Chain A
């Protein structure tokens, strides 16, 4: 039985709904020895900024119950080096590529996208509005304010016809409002959730474990909150929603689809099992065959309330 796993995000058609999340897939090449990258539904790259970034000093990561904190600090080679050194490899894979971009101001966001617009082989952008591990110079994180979200999204909308995804952060009281702001400003989709701002303390030294003091919490411990937020957002917006947050296996992914997500991104799971995205995809197919479901669209938003 042929299964229809396709999904549409903006003007990009995905052959299947399993993507890999930004910052968890290196520059792609790291995973080629573990599975055939061509089988992915798509790739969201590590976040790229206009200038290279060193990233935060160590300690950058710490494990927590069923999760981990990270404060990498957007270490990346900068947009120029990304284009010359990293993009050619992504292009060769032959799956939709969404470049995650970030700036400290609307202008910086625009400049990164402007540089990337000249390059082929990019299907869309994911606007990282919600990195918890960089200093915003006293300013608010974009994802924490719906006015800031619409400013960034509408500015980038004017610069590109490519698919635009707004990645939202979970540390807000009304995630639906944030998603709505992104949709109104012209985003083709929203992706959520980014990591939660969290902290671990070394009780002996009484110092924060991470050099950055706080970090982003990810992994299966955040999944139920992610599912709830996706459910909330799907009721508010019409654009497709990409579900992210502690997806470890097909069962987890299905929760997101039932809540209304059109596609999912696998993140932290790839650290414990680099082949996780493929196993999740196969698990989704197994479920559909067993339940005699022909199209993924029958599952999306099928929650019974």
Chain B
């Protein structure tokens, strides 16, 4: 893993929806190394309050710059929203494993093998459909993934990608237009029914998955934990290979503090610790994740 620590200059910090901003920063080293589903740790202030950096998935990454899409939720992101073009912030990244984009299209190996993770390379045959399910501020890494898919050689066509987006309300539906600009089919659901179907995006995704041959589907999801849990149930029910990107409280972001634990399946036993130790262990979301195979996670 090639993570860099760098003071990055802000190129743009633009409000794109109520309480949501896109921050674009300059760093050829971090940008070039970034893969979809990976993240950066951003120090939102020079003081010690807030103390810890904040993790954000990539929204885009070029050879020169990268962007993140964040929601203002607390002290750190509030400070971030006030940062101006030309300011510089400490960034560490890219971190984490990212989505598995190690494909074999018609037998030809493409793209790089993901970092240390529970993921295995994907074998892709014929008319695969890549189903991207995003909720709220979990949508950005899926947009990065879609961009990446279209750049792969041999290419994955936009027709082979299906996106489902969910949000509380219309104004918070992120990246819908951006996906459409890539020529990708997008279906949306809002909890209040202000746009698209009323209800949860997972319902819509299930209706889609139900009628397909599971062997032709690959699902990628990022969003609130409740949504990921629902997606995992769907993937289990229909037997679809599914990767989910989780969000958990994190301190260091590179495997030192062991703070961002997530319960995953494990065959080894005889571990001493709370709640026994049978068939589970705690994986670190920052190094083994944030992307996990849905069937690996033991949801609480």
Interface of A is mostly: loop
Q: How far is the CB of B170 from chain A (nearest CB, A)?
A: 26
Q: Which residues of chain B (84-126) have a CB below 8 Å from chain A?
A: 90, 92
Contact B282 A55 (CB under 8 A): yes
Contact B52 A56 (CB under 8 A): no
B51 at the interface (CB under 8 A from A): yes
Contact B282 A271 (CB under 8 A): no
Given A57-B282, A58-B282, A25 and B256 touching (CB < 8 A)?
A: yes
Query: B92 touches which one: A59, A65, A248, A274 (CB < 8 A)?
Result: A274
Contact A248 B272 (CB under 8 A): no
What separation, in Å, do the CA atoms of A75 and B271 have in the docked complex? 10
Given A33-B2, A53-B272, A58-B263, A67 and B256 touching (CB < 8 A)?
A: no
Contact A52 B272 (CB under 8 A): yes
Contact B258 A75 (CB under 8 A): yes
Contact B274 A54 (CB under 8 A): yes
Chain B residue contacts of A68, Cβ below 8 A = 51-52, 251
Contact with A along B16-55 (1 / 0, CB 8 A): 0000000000000000000000000001000011111100
Contact A55 B261 (CB under 8 A): yes
What separation, in Å, do the CA atoms of A224 and B56 have in the docked complex? 33
Chain B residue contacts of A75, Cβ below 8 A = 258, 261, 273, 282
A51 at the interface (CB under 8 A from B): yes
- CB nearest neighbor in B for A29: B255
Q: How far is the CB of A291 from chain B (nearest CB, A)?
A: 25
Q: How large is the interface on A (under 10, 10 to 19, 20 to 34, 35 or more residues)?
A: 35 or more
Contact with B along A62-79 (1 / 0, CB 8 A): 110111101011010000
- CB nearest neighbor in B for A26: B256
A34 at the interface (CB under 8 A from B): yes
- CB nearest neighbor in A for B248: A58
What separation, in Å, do the CA atoms of A23 and B251 have in the docked complex? 13
Q: How large is the interface on B (under 10, 10 to 19, 20 to 34, 35 or more residues)?
A: 35 or more
Contact B258 A271 (CB under 8 A): no
Q: How far is the CB of B41 from chain A (nearest CB, A)?
A: 9
Chain A residue contacts of B204, Cβ below 8 A = none
A300 at the interface (CB under 8 A from B): no
B249 at the interface (CB under 8 A from A): yes
B254 at the interface (CB under 8 A from A): yes
B277 at the interface (CB under 8 A from A): yes
Q: How far is the CB of B260 from chain A (nearest CB, A)?
A: 8
B152 at the interface (CB under 8 A from A): no
Contact B5 A34 (CB under 8 A): yes
Contact B251 A55 (CB under 8 A): no
What separation, in Å, do the CA atoms of A26 and B254 have in the docked complex? 9
Chain B residue contacts of A51, Cβ below 8 A = 270-272
What separation, in Å, do the CA atoms of A14 and B239 have in the docked complex? 57
Chain B residue contacts of A67, Cβ below 8 A = 51
Q: Which residues of chain A (258-305) have a CB below 8 Å from chain B?
A: 268, 270-275
- Since A61-B251, A61-B257, A75-B282 are in contact, a sample of 15 more A-B pairs with Cβ atoms closer than 8 Å, ordered by chain A residue number, is A30-B256, A55-B261, A55-B282, A58-B249, A58-B261, A60-B249, A63-B50, A63-B52, A66-B48, A66-B49, A68-B51, A220-B51, A248-B48, A268-B51, A272-B52
Query: What 3 pairs between A and B have smallest CB-CB spacing?
Result: A54-B273, A61-B259, A26-B256
Q: List 13 A-B contacts (CB under 8 A).
A: A26-B256, A30-B252, A49-B272, A51-B272, A54-B275, A54-B277, A54-B281, A57-B263, A62-B249, A72-B259, A212-B274, A268-B51, A275-B5
